Amino acid sequence: QSVLTQPPSVSAAPGQKVTISCSGSGSNIGNNDVSWYQQLPGTAPKLLIYENNKRPSGIPDRFSGSKSGTSATLGITGLQTGDEADYYCGTWDNSLSAVVFGGGTKLTVL
């Protein structure tokens, strides 16, 4: 069982918007920045969002991140079939002294 809780799956139609939640506690999300990663089928994870809401160079502004209290959210607008992937949140956990990840959310673009 993962320290950070994500919904196992979400789905939406092309062109629509979807949000993926990541729930933690005061020892992790509550006091540390959150990153988000996209893992396309059969490939390595790729950094999507860092420091809660910043996008690396090359990541389209269709992807956004936010954090409030002990939860974080990834938002994707204008969904494309190419967005079908597993999405993971990650952060540092002060109590565990470890980098922790969510269990991952599978996005299906119907």
Q: Which of 21, 31, 50, 55 binds other proteins (CB under 8 A)?
A: 50
Structure tokens at 82: 């190419």
Place of tokens 């993971």: 88
Q: Which is nearer to other proteins, 37 or 63 (CB)?
A: 37
Which segment (19-27, 50-58, 60-68, 73-81) binds other proteins by CB under 8 A? 50-58
Shortest approach of other proteins to residue 12 CB, angstroms? 22
Q: Does 102 bind other proteins (CB under 8 A)?
A: yes
Could you tell me which residues come within 8 angstroms of residue 73 by beta carbon, excluding any fewer than 6 positions away? 19, 20, 21, 22, 65, 66, 67
Q: Taking CB under 8 A as the criterion, which residues in 9-48 touch other proteins?
A: 32-33, 35, 37, 43-47
